Amino acid sequence: MRVSRISFSGGMKVSDEGLRPLSQQFSFEGSAVKLEDGSWFQPLRDARRCWTATSPMPYRHHGTYYDSLYELQNGLFVRLQFTAPPLDRSAGRTSMIDCHDDIKGNRIDDREAVEFLIEGQFPVLERLQHLLLDESAPADDAEPQTPRPLSYWEVDSVLGTIHKDAHVMRVADLLPKVLDAAINAVHEIRQWPAVNPDLRQHLQTINLAARLRDRYRVDAREWWGSQKIVPPESVDILQLRWPDGIENVKSNVIPEMGKLVVGAAVALHLNTPLRANEPPPTYEEKRLAETHLLTSLSAIEELVVELRQTLDDLTSGRTYASLMEEAPEKLKPPKKEQIAAYLLRTLSQLSNAEIKKKLKVTVDLGTISRWIKIAREWYEKGNPLPPTVQNMLAKEKAKAAVPVPMDPSEIDLGARQRGRNPSRKGSESD
C-alpha cells in the first residue's frame, strides 16, 4: 500500500508561542463527528494538528483509505478512519476532499499515538519521546538496518492483475497504453524536486509499473506456445504474441523500463509488509526509491522516445495532417478529388473519361489531367500522401503491372479537330 504523509499547513509550528489554526482538508472537518464512546469531535474547532496516512483501496475505482491522527488543543488524541472516492483531477488540483459518511473514530492515549506516528513514519512529538526509551530505543550494540535493494520490491503479485484472456490481446493495442502511462509517469517524476517529499504524488508511477506487469489469463485450448508443456495460468505482455518489426521494444524497451521503474514504484506504493515477519518499506527506503527514479529519469525518457518512434513506424508514421504542415511552400497540398484522380490513374489505369465518370464530377477532361499532375508532382517531390494511400501504392508497386486495354471509342487523337474527317480526304480545303 502506498503512503502519502500529509502535514496540514495549520499543523506546522510558526513560533514558540503556538500553532496556526488547522486548515480544512476533508469535507467533514467543519462539522461534528460522533466517536465510538458517544462523544462528539469537531476537527476545525477542537484540533490543532493532524497527521494522515493514505493507502489505495483494493480496487482503484473505490478510492482511497485515510487514517488520521488529530492532536487536540488539550494535548489528547483522536483517531479517525474513513474513505473517499477517487479524486477528480480534470479541473486541476482540488483543495478539499469529499469523504464517505462511514467515519470511524475514537480517542486514544499517548502510547497509541506514538505507535501511529512510528507506523506512519512521522516524527514523534518531543513531549512523547520518553515513551520510546523503554521499548523503541535500539540497543547500544545494535547495527543500523541496511536499506533493502530495489530488486527486493520487484514482485509481480503486488501489481499484476489477471483481468483479460491472453489469446485475444493484441500487443499493438497494449503498447500505446504503456506509452501513455510512461509519459504521465515522466511528467510526475519531473515535478518531484519542486514538491515537499511528504506531498509528492506516486499515482502515475505506480500505474506505469502496473502496465508493465499486468498479467492475462491463458485459455489452455487457445495456447500458442509449446505443446510439450502445460500452459501457464497467465502471461505478461512479453509472453504475448508480438508482431514483426518491433523486436527492439520486446527485447530492450519494456524489460529495461521494468528494471528502472517497477521495484522503486512498489516500494513507494506499499504500506504493508511484502513478506511475513518483515517490515513494510521504511521512510528511508521510500526516499531512496524516489532518488533512484529521479536519477534514472533521463534513461526512462530515452526508452519512452524509442517506444513512441517504434509505435509511429508500426502505425505508418505521423498523421497526414501533421505531415502536411511540414510540406514545401512551393506546392499546395492536393485536394481529395485530385488524390482520387491520381490513384485511379496509377492503380487502375483508367482514362480521363472513366475517372470523370467514376468521381461523378462535371469538370472537363483537361481538368482531370491537371488534377493527376498536381497529385503526382506532390508525391514525387517526397511529400506525403495519406498513410492508407501510401500502403496501397506500395502494394501495387510490388505486383506485376498488368496493362488495361482502353476502349477505342475513348481514344481521341485529334482527328476530328477543326472539322477534319480522315474518312473524307480532300472533301474540305485547308
* Higher-pLDDT residue of 136, 283: 283
pLDDT at 323: 41
| pLDDT > 90 in the chain, percent | 17
Mean pLDDT, rounded, for 15-30: 60
pLDDT at 430: 44
The answer to whether the beta carbons of residues 203 and 195 sit under 8 Å apart is no
* Higher-pLDDT residue of 249, 157: 249
pLDDT, tens only, 26-84: 778 878 888 888 888 888 888 888 888 887 766 555 678 888 999 988 888 999 988 88
Query: Can you spell out the DSSP letters for 191-255?
Result: HGGGS-GGG---HHHHHHHHHHH-EEE--GGG--S-TTSPPPSEEEGGGSPPPTT-HHIIIIIHH
pTM value is 0.46
- Tell me how far the alpha carbon of residue 75 is from its chain's centroid: 45
Average pLDDT of the chain is 76
Cα 42 from Cα 3, distance rounded (Å): 25
CB neighbours (10 Å) of residue 97? 21
Domain ranges of the chain: 6-87+96-133, 151-221+230-314, 327-404
SS3 for 59? coil
* Higher-pLDDT residue of 192, 331: 192
The highest-level CATH class for domain 327-404 is mainly alpha
- Nearest of 164, 147, 401, 110 to residue 279 by alpha carbon: 147
**Helix segments in 320-408, DSSP class H:** 320-324, 336-348, 352-359, 365-380, 387-398
pLDDT at 158: 64
pLDDT at 185 over 90: yes
SS3 for 53? strand
